[in-house]
Chains A and B, each alone.
Chain A
C-alpha cells in the first residue's frame, strides 16, 4: 500500500492491489494471445482480408499486395486500381505489364541466387508467390495478377486470409 502525508499530517493511503490484479489479468491475456506464427506480419492498412478457417499459417511475407487503390510488388507501387481494375495502359493480353516486369525481376533474382543447384523444394518455393488482396476485389483483377505471375514462372499462390478465431 502506498501512502502519502498531507500538510495537515493526515496519512492518505492508496490501495494498489486492484491495479496489480488488472495488470496481471492483462499480462496473462496478452501472453496467451501472443502470436506463435512463424511470421509476424501487420496487414497493410489499405487491405481488408477475407476471413477463413484455414489452418495454414503465413510462412513468408507477401510479394504482391493489392490494396483498394493500388498494386504493390515488393512494397513498390506498380499500378493503380480504378473502378476495380487496372488502367488500360497497364493491361497486356489479359495480364498487367508492370506486375509481370517486377515479378520477372524477382524470378530472375531467385534463379541467380540459387544458381544451378536447385532442389525440388527450391523449385516449389521459387514458383510460389504470396499475395495479400483486399476482400472486395473481384476475380477479374485476381486473374490478371495470376496471369502476370504465371508468365513470370510463378504458378502457385498463397492467398492471405484472416484466420477466424475458434
Chain B
C-alpha cells in the first residue's frame, strides 16, 4: 500500500488594497454631504376670497353645510351649521395648545362626516395671531392622519382621490384677508 503524501495547501498572505474603496467613499460622502437638504420643505395651500362675474357654484335654494374656523391669539372656535332649517349648529371652542388642536382635528373629522360633500372651510384670523400658530391650526383642518377616514366625493377622479387621501378639508379660504 503506497502512502500518499497529503500536500498541505500553501497559504499566502493576501492583502486587499482598500485605498481605492476609501477614495470612492470619500468622494461619494463629499458629494452627498454637499447636496444634502436636511430640511424637508412642504406647502400648505390656501385661497383668498375674490370677486368674479362667474355664476355661483351652488344654488341658492340648496341646503348646504358651512364650516367656519375663527382663530384668536389664545382661542379657536369651530362652527358647523346648515344654511337652511333645521340648522343643527355644532360649535366648539378650543385653546391654542397641542392637545386642544388635536381635539379640534377630531372635531373637524366629525364635521366632515356630517356633510361629506362640503370640502371648504372659511378661516378667520385676528391680526395678532402668529403664523406658526396658524400653521398648526391649518394642519388640524387640512391634513389627514394615517388613521383618519378618507372623504372622497362620489364619482371622484384620480386627482380628487389623491387630494382626499391627503386632506380632511382641502379648500381653506382665508376669509379675513378681505375684512
A contact set with B: CB distance below 8 Å: 1-2, 16-17, 19-20, 23-24, 26-27, 30-31, 33-35, 37, 40-43, 49-59, 130, 133-140, 142-143, 146-147, 149-150, 155-163, 165
Contact = CB atoms under 8 A, between A and B. Distances in A.
A72 to B, nearest CB: 17
A89 to B, nearest CB: 20
Interface string B162-179: 000010000000101110
Contact of A37 (B35, B40, B131): B40
Interface stretch (B24-32, B56-64, B75-83): B24-32
Contacts, number: 164
A30 B27 CA distance: 13
Contacts of A35: 36-37, 40
Given A16-B18, A157-B47, A160-B41, A53 B139 contact: yes
Contact of B39 (A1, A43, A53): A43
Given A130-B43, A156-B45, 13 more contacts: A20-B22, A24-B25, A27-B25, A30-B29, A35-B37, A50-B132, A51-B132, A55-B143, A56-B45, A135-B132, A139-B127, A139-B129, A162-B40
Contacts of A59: 43
A50 B28 contact: no
Q: When A and B form their complex, which 7 residue pairs have the shortest distance between CB atoms, in order from nearest?
A: A135-B132, A30-B32, A140-B127, A50-B132, A50-B135, A158-B43, A23-B25
16 contacts: A23-B26, A51-B132, A54-B42, A55-B166, A57-B40, A135-B131, A136-B131, A137-B130, A137-B131, A138-B127, A139-B130, A146-B48, A147-B178, A150-B48, A157-B47, A161-B41
